Amino acid sequence: MSAELLERRRAAIATSGWGARFDFFQPHNACLWVYLGLVVSGLWFVVNTVKGTGGAFDEAYATALVSSALFAAAFLAFLRHADRWERTPPALALAAFLGGGFGATFAIAIVGNGALMSIYTKVFGEAWATVWEAGLTAPFVEETSKGAIFVLLLGLAPVVIRTASDGLMVGAYVGLGFQIVEDILYAQNSAFAEFGAHQSDAVLHTFLLRAVTGIPSHALYTALFGAGVIYALGTPAQPRRLARGIALMLSAMLIHGVRPGPMIMTEAPTFVYDVVAMMMYATIGILIYGLTLTNLLIKVLMVPKAVILPIIFVLCVVGSYAIASRLFDVWVMLGFGVLGYVLRRFKYPVAPLVLGMVLGDLMEKGLRRGLVLSDGSLEPFFTRPISAVLWVTIVLVIVMKLDFVRNLFRRTRTAT
């Protein structure tokens, strides 16, 4: 084998991150402290809950733990077999499992679900919230909470998590942790409903039902979400595909809302037929457009820029004016065109601007709702626990990016 081929093989292995080590303890990395804060706060919630209900429900807790451990062992064996070619480092898999089980579940999802349901009730009324809040809360809050844990792990292991396959596996470990702990929570609620008798029977019934319907559950959702994050962000080994990444993340939320399993035909009888019909129509449409328009559309690339650019400019002006018949919109369009040229000229990344445009409206609406709930006071945006954690995280991330702070850490590590 030639030296050039060996060098290319080494470069490919280094780019993919295959066989790279994972060091969990990185004190200079803000992702570590955010991760630990979420996991510790989730564990604190669990300890307080169990402490307050211990004694009377010891049998239920023991049954839930044993049954969940058996299910987790079977699922982990499956994931290990599926990951046999790359082998996610055990420390990373454990961190993903604990982060999904305690950080995402108790530190983010429970708080987020309650907050969003409260907003639905206050904004749309109790009758509407009773019907819609569960379906419009869990898919978004729970998938983004698990996605947040995945992003933190990506920050801790950027050399290990390089490809969409890595995103699938690490996301599956995060989702499995969430699912196992959530099953224990549901089993606890079943034991509460059967207080005084049949605790173990109630727990086993709930667990078996959720185990059967949960095989394509949180592990699958977060695996899709993790792969979507990798595609959306891009890595040295995985070219950036923003549309594909967003589609995968939205698919995870959509499937979560449907809850696939043996009961899907009962709970959402029209969904399966709608999906099949949409796929059939989309396939037929793609076939027709592909056969009839491909050759014609390719010729557009042959049009000289001197001809095509004035046409695009006229369409932009007419389109921006036609929306509301205001000349102000045309000036906004021109201003953003100049801004886009400047950003591209100086090689600024476009992704933050796109995220700002997508999330800006949601942020503005959230700010208005928060001001309404706080009677116009900005204090809750800084003093509430979640807000305070987010602000501290933002400050830490910014400070850790400063050159003199990084040099200080570098000198400290060199001295030790």
**How deeply is 18 buried, as exposed, middle or buried, from its count of CB atoms within 10 A (0-12, 13-18, 19+)?**
middle
Q: Provide the CB-side half-sphere exposure for 241 (13 A, CA).
A: 14
For the segment 62-87, what is each residue's pLDDT rounded down to a tens digit? 777 777 777 778 777 877 777 766 67
Q: Are 373 and 122 in contact (CB under 8 A)?
A: yes
Token pair for 163: 């490809």
Q: Which residues of the chain have pLDDT under 70?
A: 1, 12-19, 52-61, 84-86, 128-136, 187-216, 257-276, 278-279, 416
For the segment 376-412, what is each residue's pLDDT rounded down to a tens digit? 888 888 888 888 888 888 888 888 888 887 888 777 7
Token pair for 285: 């449409």
How many other β-carbons are positioned within 10 Å of the β-carbon of residue 150?
29
pLDDT at position 331 is 92
pLDDT at position 344 is 84
Determine the Cα–Cα distance for residues 384 and 368; give it in Å rounded to an integer.
Answer: 17
pLDDT at position 159 is 84
Token pair for 45: 């919630």
Distances (CA, A) of 155 to 30, 34, 403: 9, 11, 19
The full DSSP string for 243-306 is HHHHHHHHHHHHHHHH--STTHHHHSHHHHHHHHHHHHHHHHHHHHHHHHHHHHHHGGGGS-HH
Token pair for 235: 């890595």
Determine the Cα–Cα distance for residues 76 and 70; give it in Å rounded to an integer.
Answer: 10
**How deeply is 205 buried, as exposed, middle or buried, from its count of CB atoms within 10 A (0-12, 13-18, 19+)?**
middle
